[in-house]
Structure 1
Amino acid sequence: MQQSESKIALLIDADNAPASKIEAILSEIAKYGVANVRRAYGNWKSQNIKSWEECLHEYAIRPVQQFDYTKGKNATDAAMIIDAMDLLYTQHLDAFAIVSSDSDFTPLVMRILTNGLKVYGFGETKTPLPFVRACSTFLYLETIDRAIDVDLNSGENIKVSTNLKKTSQELKQDTKLISLLRGAVSNTADDDDWSNLADVGGHITNQASFDSRNYGYTKLYSLFKAIDLFEIQRQGTVVYVRNKQKNAKDSIARS
C-alpha cells in the first residue's frame, strides 16, 4: 500500500525519446507509485517533437518550452536538470522517472540517489551505459512493451516480439549478467544453497540497475530458465534457484 502511494516526478526529454512509448512508460511507473508531476521538455516550435505535442493533453503532461539558444548545445538537458533540482528540494517526492537516451543526466541521477530517492530510467538501447547503470532501474524502450515469455502459472505464451530476445548462448556470454545473477543467488542462499527467487530479485534491484525485459524476458524466472546455468525448483507459487551443482547428489529437490 505504501509503495502505491509513492510520489514520482516524471521528466521527459522530448528531443531524445519516442512519444509512441508514453503509455507503456506511465503503466510501468504506476507499478511504483503515482506520477503526480509530469513534464516534457523541448523546443515545441520544432517539427521533430510534433508527436509529443499531440499526446500532451491526453496524458496530462505539462510542456516546458526550451529554445535552442546555441547551435549544437542541448538547452533541454540543462532545463531538465535545473527543474529536477528544484523539485528535489521543494517537493516531497519519493522518486524520479527520467525519460531520455542522453548520458548528460548521469550526475543528476547520482545526486538524486544521494538524497535517498529512487530513479527509474527509460531510454533507447543507444543510451550510454553510465546513465543506464546509474539509475535504480533502467528499462529500454524497445523492450518495454515487447517480449515473449512463459507465464509462471498458466504456462501460456505471451506473444509480442522476438526481435530483442537473447538466446541462451548470448545470455551465457554476458559475463556481467552471469556474475550479477550468481552473486545474488549466493548472497541470498540458505544452508542448502537454495535461494528464493523473490529474494534474488530484491538483492539485484538493491545492487544494480536491472530488468529482465531488457534481455527479452518479462519475468526473472524465465531469464534464469533460459540461461540454463541454475537449478530451479517450485513449491506451489514460490520458486527457488541455486547454482548448478557438480555433484549429482547435491541436486536433490527441496522437501
Structure 2
Amino acid sequence: MSTEKTERIAVLIDADNTRPSIIDGLLAEIAKYGVASVRRIYGDWTSSMLKGWKEVLLEHSVQPIQQFGYTRGKNATDSAMIIDAMDLLYTGKFDAFCIVSSDSDFTRLASRIRESGLLVYGFGEKKTPAPFVSACDKFIYTEVLSARTSDNEAITRKSTAELRKDTRLVRLLRNAVDSSSDESGWAHLATVGSNIAKQSPEFDPRNYGYSKLGELVGATRLFDLEERKLGDGHSKSIYLHDKREKRKKTPPKSEE
C-alpha cells in the first residue's frame, strides 16, 4: 500500500477572465499536482456572458459562486475570490491553491498564500501581468492546455534556430544546468527542471511547442544528452552537459 501523500488543492476560478474551453485541460493539469478538493468558480451567473461556463460546470463538478456586480467599474468577483481564499487558507486543510485568472488583482493573494508555506499554481493567458506570474510558484499559460490557441491556430513548434535566438531561454537553460551539474559538468534533467521552475514560474516546454523538457533541450542542440540506467537496471534518467563546457575541456589540437 502506498504511503505517498496526495496534495489537497483548492481551485478558484475567475469566470470573468477565463475561457470555458480550457476546463478539460485545466483539470488534467491540476491532477498532476494533487487532488482538487475544492472547485469553485466566481462570477455573475445572471449575465449572459457566462453562458459558456454554465454548460460545463455540472459535468466537471465545479461549484458556481454568485457574485453580483454592485458597483460599476469595480470587480466584485475578485473580492469574493480573495475572501473565500483566505477563509480556506485559515482552515489549514490544504497543501496548495490554484488561482485561475489573467488579472493582476490576485498578485497579493498569491504572495500571502505562499507566505503561509503553501504552494500556489497560477493559470492565465499570456497577457497576464508579470507581477501575478512571479507571485506564483508555478504559472501555466492557458493557451497550452488545449491543442489550439485562442485564435484557433496550432501552437507552432519552434525550430532550433528560433530557440537559439531566444536569449532568455538559452540563458535560463544554461544557468540551470550549470547550477545543477556535478564536478564533471553533467546535470540530472529532473534537477534542472526544478531549478528552472524556481527561476521562472511561467516556464513550460509547451510554450515552445514541445511536450517535455528533454525534447526542448534536445531541440536547442546546445547540450549533450545521455541516458543512464538507475540502480535497478530497468529505469533510466537523462543527464545534460553544456557543449560549450565540453569544448573548453577539450585540449587544443597540436600544430603540425
TM-score (norm 1): 0.86
- The answer to whether 1:216 aligns with 2:209 is yes
Determine the C-alpha separation between the residues in 2 that align with 1:2 and 1:127: 38
Determine the C-alpha separation between the residues in 1 that align with 2:3 and 2:29: 17
By how many angstroms is 1:247 displaced? 5.4
Q: How does 1:56-135 map to 2 (within 5 A)?
A: 56-135=57-136
Q: Tell me, yes or no, if the aligned pair for 1:171 and 1:177 is still in contact at 8 Å.
A: yes
Number of residue pairs aligned between Structure 1 and Structure 2:
238
Query: Quick check: which has more Rg, 1 or 2?
Result: 2
| Other-structure match for 2:168 | 176
Distance 1:198 1:142, change over 3 A: same
| Other-structure match for 2:232 | none
Q: Which runs of 5+ in 2 are unaligned?
A: 230-235, 251-256
Distance 1:212 1:229, change over 3 A: same
Letter in 2 for 1:230: F
- The answer to whether 1:49 aligns with 2:42 is no
| Other-structure match for 1:233 | 226
Q: Tell me, yes or no, if the aligned pair for 1:6 and 1:93 is still in contact at 8 Å.
A: yes
Q: Percentage identity across aligned positions?
A: 52
Q: Which runs of 5+ in 1 are unaligned?
A: 148-160
TM-score (norm 2): 0.86
Q: Tell me, yes or no, if the aligned pair for 2:185 and 2:245 is still in contact at 8 Å.
A: no
Distance 1:25 1:249, change over 3 A: same
Provide the alpha-carbon RMSD of the alignment: 2.1
Distance 1:2 1:219, change over 3 A: farther
By how many angstroms is 1:131 displaced? 1.4
Letter in 1 for 2:189: L
Cα deviation 1:170-216 (Å, max 9, x = unaligned): 33333332222212111110111010101111222234302222222
Letter in 2 for 1:133: S
| Other-structure match for 2:143 | 142
- The answer to whether 1:10 aligns with 2:2 is no
Helix, strand or coil: the match of 2:13?
strand
| Other-structure match for 1:30 | 31
Letter in 1 for 2:177: V
Distance 1:130 1:64, change over 3 A: same
Q: Tell me, yes or no, if the aligned pair for 1:4 and 1:32 is still in contact at 8 Å.
A: no
Q: Tell me, yes or no, if the aligned pair for 1:137 and 1:211 is still in contact at 8 Å.
A: no
Q: Tell me, yes or no, if the aligned pair for 1:162 and 1:216 is still in contact at 8 Å.
A: no
- The answer to whether 1:205 aligns with 2:197 is yes
Helix, strand or coil: the match of 1:55?
helix
